[in-house]
Structure 1
């Protein structure tokens, strides 16, 4: 609602009347659970809406990764526990995860979120959006175009991107790099986890010298634990 302001040649009495009238309108709306935001100019509404969108997106995290091998941890089970714990703690802190169900990653993110939701009587759909990539071509559709569309639809919902692992036996998980490039275009905050190696480490090396303080500080905090202490790594990611 536009804030009442005194008009040229308006008497104090008339201005006071309009001010009281506006305050009464605000109080009436509040009775119905509607809270009013006053602006001096209507173009401020666009700024407010964009701020709200940004706040929503910061609570929606894209997790990019795939793994045939699990580096950085004492054993494969610890690496899988890291993914499980990360997803559990993100859900516990009211984040929503978006994931393409990457090989060697998606199962353990799903298990973490599922455990949290079952323990706390929450809906999995409130904390997880899964958009798997098609694996078999059974139509005339260009599968690479489908991949591009799938990535775009996932990433446009998010404000933060976490990159983990990123390796495959047959290549270096180039899809993770494509997702990283797209998150840059969409201006997401990238948080690569260096200890997991693969494409995540490549992205860390690219981003570590980022001249945007917010991004650099987030990456440094998320990667400040140099051992394979799972709980500490996850804690730092949450605090970043």
Structure 2
């Protein structure tokens, strides 16, 4: 996995994520990492029952057909095999969780398990799972992720796609799935993970698209482990396998699928984690509250926050905020005006505001609700800005503990933390804390970031003078 290949891939796929054009196709390799069998493992007892060695077979679908042929087309044993192997409720892997965190709305899979659905639901997303033709015609209300299971689901093992007969009849029995996948492959950029590209259904769909859009096929990507020589493997056997892999990747280019090679399966996790970090760095969480505007005054503070929000939008960044007292309305004003100044932008894409629920009388329930609320807001971002941080309690101006809690939540999530120290109150305390231990908050490029952070703690009469240094620091962080 070269840096250039990785960076080119990440830049291209992140752009598609930004524009809601990204999709993921998950193969058996992803489920194997969770403890489920792959096709080789699934068909091993079938091959043994036929007197064959599964290790010598390359057409595993044929094994399922051979079994049916030998048993008067009775599927009971195959269905029971699926139940035995996939009914255990295994937990999603870190890779599933990372995929679920990305703003992908379309997931395709040939797997029977429910790992990706569980990962999405654990992340608070509403999943619309499709594993029968009739389900394609219905829509789950409020869905924000669709999982297309083109070979079926473990809850319906008798309908799973397993044998040659199933594959050969697929266009008749599951034609709408082919149509839906064809449309997504034309309109979206796919990332294939854990997939071997031996599935005849996918090959059929890709071939149809290539015939229709030969010179205008959309760019797709697949992640594949580079073939290495196994322990005890002969040189001739390794060279044969290496040559075969090169030919397969060259053939994938016919469908405009570029292969991103990794050296180890752990690289998949690192790749997805890097993608997640880079995407979230395009979202800035703004935390702050003000009952007392200090030396700047209310008018200058609101103008500063409005202009800062506008500049963040102008840099094509996304803003998320809890609508802090005395701060949130200015953020909304600047962001909305900047968004509306450009016709191709929409508020939903670049601004997420969630006013805190008030009026919860039970202290324990209120604390629990606020914590979850903050965690969900922070989880969307990669950079956090902290401004002022005070509130009025019984007529007295005190530090806002909510801003401190949001700082701790952002710190726990690994966000880049940018306190505006010159705005005083909690933000000043946080600026001193961050700059005092800058190497622990920014272990990479410490000296550069320290220099960029320093101006944010200096007293200024006009807070607008801070906008340029803030944007300069954010631009540095988003590039890193």
TM-score bracket for the superposition, by shorter chain length: 0.7 to 0.9
CA separation of 1:17/1:201 partners in 2, compared to 1, >3 Å: closer, same or farther?
closer
Label 1:16 to 1:67 Cα distance change in 2 as closer, same or farther (>3 A). Answer: closer
The answer as to 2:230 corresponding to 1:39 is no
Work out the CA distance in 2 between the residues paired with 1:204 and 1:141: 30
Q: Distance in 2 between matches of 1:161 and 1:96?
A: 12
Distance, in Å, in 2 between the alignment partners of 1:90 and 1:129 is 13
SS in 1 for 2:358: coil
1:222 deviates by 4.0
Mark the runs of 5 or more structure 2 residues left unpaired by the alignment: 1-223, 474-480
Task: Give the corresponding residue for 2:307.
Answer: 85
State the match for 2:409 in structure 1.
182
| Structure exhibiting the larger radius of gyration computed from Cα positions | 2
The answer to which structure, 1 or 2, has the higher relative contact order (CA under 8 A, 6+ apart) is: 1
5 Å-filtered alignment, 1:61-210, equals 61-73=284-296, 75-121=297-343, 122-137=345-360, 142-170=365-393, 171-210=398-437
CA distance in 2, matches of 1:59, 1:115: 19
**Further displaced range: 185-194 or 44-53:** 185-194
Whole-angstrom CA distance in 1 between matches of 2:416 and 2:354: 21
In structure 2, C-alpha distance between the alignment counterparts of 1:223 and 1:85, rounded to whole Å? 21
Q: How does 1:23-34 map to 2 (within 5 A)?
A: 23-30=249-256, 34=257
Of 436, 440, 452, the residue aligned with 1:221 is: 452
TM-score by length of 1: 0.87
Unpaired runs of at least 5, structure 1:
none
CA RMSD after TM alignment: 2.5
Is the CA contact (8 Å cut-off) linking 1:165 and 1:200 kept in structure 2? yes
Using the TM superposition, give the Cα deviation of residue 17 of structure 1 relative to its aligned residue in structure 2, in angstroms.
Answer: 4.0
Counterparts in 2 of 1:22 and 1:40: CA distance versus 1, 3 Å: farther
Q: Select the residue among 226, 229, 234 that pairs with 1:9.
A: 234
Cα shift at 1:53:
0.6
Q: Aligned-pair distance for 1:231?
A: 4.5
Q: Are 2:300 and 2:462, in contact at CA under 8 Å, matched by a contact in 1?
A: no
Name the CA distance, whole Å, in 1 between partners of 2:295 and 2:385: 16
1:19-74 deviation line (CA, Å, top 9, x unaligned): 541332341242xxx4331112222111101110111121111111001122353x
Moved more, 88-97 or 4-13: 4-13
Runs of at least 4 residues off by over 4 Å: 138-141
